[in-house]
Structure 1
């Protein structure tokens, strides 16, 4: 996941959640 975050430049929009993978803070996916 860190590879993707680095590729995106680690934007504040994306919150990395362990287990789920990644989710965009703008779109709440439970």
Structure 2
């Protein structure tokens, strides 16, 4: 989840980047 916080900080206006990172986080968990 840490990378999601960083993504929000660096790409606050880029929802696509946050979505991609969220998907990557889910893939890593599973």
Q: TM above 0.5, one fold?
A: no
Structure showing greater relative contact order (alpha-carbon pairs closer than 8 Å, 6 or more residues apart): 2
Q: Which has the higher helix share?
A: 2
Q: Which has the higher strand share?
A: 1
State TM-score, norm by structure 1: 0.26
